[in-house]
Amino acid sequence: MSLETDLFSHLRPSEQDMTAYGFRKTDHAYVYEHEFMEGRFRAVVTVSPEGSVSGKVMDTELDEEYIQVHVPGAIGSFAAAVKEEYIAILEDIARHCFYSVPFVSDQANRLSEQIFELWHDRPEYTFQDKNYVVFRHQENEKWYALFMRIDADKILDGASGQIDIVNLKAPDDQIGSLHSVNGICPAWHMNRKHWVTVILDDTLSDTEIMSLLETSHDLTAGRKTESVRGVWLVPANPSYYDVPAAFKREHGLISWKQSTDVHVGDIVYMYMGSPYSAIIYRTECIETDIPYYFENDQVKMRKLMRLKLLHEYKPDEFPFSLLKEYGVRAVRGPRSVPPELLKLLEAHAD
């Protein structure tokens, strides 16, 4: 793996930022040149239309490529100094012209976004190796998908390079037939009687893989906690949005992201993150399906709902430590409220 591939593997370029940084656009790529070490060397960094990065260092006196920066284990203090400065240039480009993505392959990143839209789960880096990423249930914390970037020859005979894969649980009586599907292999590093490995190279469509993901999600859900229809628990992050101020400003009404099957008349409890870490608000949904398009690093919205404030709890009434006693281990997205917890919430709201 080259210096550039290693550094930029989980990054994607921003054309606007590259232009502002000094990249020039050619017919086939973006190119940036920068002299360093008092003009003795020139870094030439190229970003392809697909976003891959390549680079070379030119010796300006000899007008030829200085290949030592790409030779593993190159010996000599001078070569090390040149390589160090070149890496610093690459790191500065990465910092100012690229944004982070969880996976290398575009398909893996697309699936990650669809998982968030469907279940509000974000990738978790539970291993030291950042190429292993877990998606788990909020209620029981069981994995339903393990994304990995591995050497291709570990699962494909004669293959080279690295690939993104995902391990998914499947019905036992379907494992054999799934192995015959192009793009699906026996599970790598997991129980092959219950799991399969799907290669994320667009051999299977996003729709086909999402169907397998939903099955894995259902199979790993375990015994679902009894819940009450028409009652929801949603998270709110005070560092992103001042909910108390919004309620005061709008006289007890607030517009909120609608990303689940909420209906007019449903009760929506709001769990406020740190420094509260507690359920603070009981609201009623009075309007749904309000078109609203917004996206940044923290949130993506396509429609809103309107919530009417019914009751405000004290921060020490329903802290997270109490919620865990009723089976609520996480509030990362809209979820149900266990009946016994709901009884307590209603009693405190009277």
In this predicted model, what pLDDT tens digit does every residue of 218-263 receive, in sequence order? Answer: 899 875 545 567 899 999 988 888 999 999 999 999 999 887 778 9
pLDDT of residue 320: 93
Residue 173 phi, psi (nearest 5): -80, 0
Take residue 234 and report the two structure tokens written for it.
Answer: 């949603």
**276, containing H or E segment:** none
Q: What is the pTM of this model?
A: 0.61
pLDDT band at 1 (very low <50, low <70, confident <90, very high): low
> Distances in Å between the alpha carbon of 185 and those of 133, 134, 144, 152, 197?
19, 19, 17, 12, 5
Q: Are 327 and 215 in contact (CB under 8 A)?
A: no
pLDDT of residue 171: 93
- Say how far apart CA 89 and CA 97 lie, in whole Å: 12
Q: Are 45 and 90 in contact (CB under 8 A)?
A: yes
pLDDT in tens, 19-57: 999 999 998 899 999 999 999 999 999 999 989 999 999
Looking at residue 274, the DSSP 8-state letter turns out to be T
Map out the domains of the chain with their CATH numbers.
Answer: 3-100 (no CATH), 106-219 (3.90.1150.30), 231-349 (3.10.590.10)
pLDDT in tens, 130-149: 789 999 987 778 899 999 99
Q: Are 338 and 328 in contact (CB under 8 A)?
A: yes
Q: Are 233 and 339 in contact (CB under 8 A)?
A: no
Range of lowest pLDDT (44-58, 64-78, 167-181, 274-288): 64-78
98-124: average pLDDT: 88
pLDDT band at 74 (very low <50, low <70, confident <90, very high): low
- Say how far apart CA 304 and CA 254 lie, in whole Å: 10
